[in-house]
Structure 1
Amino acid sequence: MTFIDNSEFTSQAKAARVMVVDDDPAMQRMIVAYLVEHNLRATAVSGREGLMRSITVREPDLVVLDLHLGEDDGLDILRELRARSVIPVILITGSRREELDRVLGLELGADDYLTKPFGLRELLARIRATLRRRSMDRMNPAKQRECTFRFAGWTFDQRQRELTSPGGKVVSLTKGEFALLSAFLQAPRRPLTREHLLQATRVHEDVLDRSIDVQILRLRRKLEDLPNAPRLIRTERGVGYRFDCEVELV
């Protein structure tokens, strides 16, 4: 793993951590040095193994991922990353003709992309914009609750805080269950880690039960016909949980 000491640039304790995944040493050095110069804590790895090892130790705030990494396939790395985490990802593609790769990357959960050649100033702007959007999502949970979702015959009105069954019955939710269901519906069919779900329920400081597994069981009992054989909230072994259903935003 390539690391550039950025201690002299990071006097601000809250500087975001950015991981650059690229197998070109010159490109690594150029991007990392520029980000460090602009008060981001930047490190670089050359491929899948280095990235997965690094995020196991500590997740960065954002990943810049080159889609073409020699022996590693960037889309496969993105799939694996999304199976483990919801870290924001900005893709780097090598040609304007690689539209299919860009589309697949966005469908797999990438947040943005840049096509080579690109300016470092634009990369920095996109990183800041992505981090700002993620920060606003975390700081303004009320904004996320102004939606109505439909799934498997159910209706979930976040503004009115109402969950209605396919038979028209209003099902009560605790604050923790409400936050948990909101997190699932905002990322359908995407594996979410226990850490991510735990953070989602912490928007309510008076939620006493911090065990995600217990809250999942309670939510399953309200949503599933057979809680012991769930069809909506599925367990992703070694990762967390996935809401396995098409979700419509009304």
Structure 2
Amino acid sequence: MVAEDDAKQAELVRRYLEHEGHTVTVVEDGRTALDQVRHQEPDLVVLDVMMPRADGLDVVRILRAESRDVPVLMLTARSTEDDLLLGLDLGADDYMTKPFSPRELTARVRTLLRRNRRGADPAPVPAPAPDPTPAPEPEVGPDDEVLAVGALRVDPARHEVSVGGTPVECTPGEFRILAAMAAEPGRVFTRARLLEELHGFDKYISGRTVDVHIMNLRKKIERAPRRPARIVTVFGVGYKLTDPAKNARHASS
């Protein structure tokens, strides 16, 4: 679904997405966008920030309050970075600044859809007929391994996060940052390195985008977000993921 009140912009986006093989519904205001998501349950929403009858930020806020996890790609003007960061804080998964390349937009849509489907439950498969020949043990690739850092578990194959067995809901952007850090616990990640995990290098992306994702992750996985023990700030450099229990044992020894 594309929610954009600029008819020419909406038509351009629609044509490019349909050329990629997507079925596209276009709406012109925020209230209609909410109704369409509730009734049609689209696979992804391309959402402009500035719209009549509820702007894009209100739409994201309401969708996440209703626990709707449809991926949201926001479109925003370069001059409204605060709106962008607020959108990410409210639960948007990605953003693009205007003016943008329609080809890049279709690539971002493709990436969000692929990552969202990777975390979906697989369809049931009929059991195969018995085979007397023993099957070889399946090879387990790095993407199939559950990453564990203390009580924190990150499952890249299922796109799942838990702390002490309690599930934690993460946006695709938050998940990409957390998975990268969980794969190398203790390593210090610069903001530039984490930005590469989010979108690849993009001259319009601010390091503040990473800070917003980190802030949201701390709210979800830390006991005391204002005194983080898992995602630790390394001043002047970036962030690293640690095991609080391990740190406490070292401090007491």
TM-score band w.r.t. shorter chain? 0.5 to 0.7
In the superposition, relative to structure 1, how do residues 144 and 111 fare at CA in structure 2: closer, same or farther (>3 Å)?
Answer: farther
Contact 2:45-2:73 within 8 A present in 1 as well: yes
Contact 1:20-1:43 within 8 A present in 2 as well: yes
TM-score, structure 1 length as denominator?
A: 0.52
Contact 1:137-1:144 within 8 A present in 2 as well: no
Q: In the alignment, which residue of structure 2 is the partner of 1:101?
A: 83
Q: In the alignment, which residue of structure 2 is the partner of 1:66?
A: 48
Q: Distance in 2 between matches of 1:185 and 1:51?
A: 27
Q: Distance in 2 between matches of 1:118 and 1:158?
A: 33
Larger strand percent: 1
User: How much has 1:185 moved relative to structure 2?
Assistant: 1.5
Q: In the alignment, which residue of structure 2 is the partner of 1:56?
A: 38
User: How much has 1:181 moved relative to structure 2?
Assistant: 8.2
Please say if 1:22 is aligned against 2:4. yes
Deviations 1:133-163 (A, max 9, x none): 22223369x85842347xxxxx45578xxxx
User: How much has 1:187 moved relative to structure 2?
Assistant: 3.5
TM-score, structure 2 length as denominator?
A: 0.52
| 1:1-250 equivalent positions in 2, closer than 5 A | 19-84=1-66, 85-94=68-77, 96-138=78-120, 143=144, 145-148=146-149, 155=151, 184-187=167-170, 246-248=220-222, 250=242
Q: In the alignment, which residue of structure 2 is the partner of 1:162?
A: none
User: How much has 1:101 moved relative to structure 2?
Assistant: 0.9
Matched-pair identity in %: 35
Question: Could you list the runs of 5+ residues in structure 2 that have no partner in the other structure?
Answer: 123-142, 156-160, 172-218, 223-229, 231-241, 243-253
CA RMSD, Structure 1 to Structure 2 (Å): 3.1
In the superposition, relative to structure 1, how do residues 137 and 70 fare at CA in structure 2: closer, same or farther (>3 Å)?
Answer: same
Contact 1:78-1:105 within 8 A present in 2 as well: yes
Secondary structure at 1:35 match in 2: helix
Q: Distance in 1 between matches of 2:110 and 2:220?
A: 31
Q: How many residues align?
A: 151
> Higher mean Cα deviation, 122-131 or 20-29?
20-29
User: How much has 1:22 moved relative to structure 2?
Assistant: 0.8
In the superposition, relative to structure 1, how do residues 31 and 157 fare at CA in structure 2: closer, same or farther (>3 Å)?
Answer: closer
Contact 2:2-2:45 within 8 A present in 1 as well: yes
Q: Distance in 2 between matches of 1:20 and 1:62?
A: 9
Question: Could you list the runs of 5+ residues in structure 1 that have no partner in the other structure?
Answer: 1-18, 150-154, 160-177, 189-244
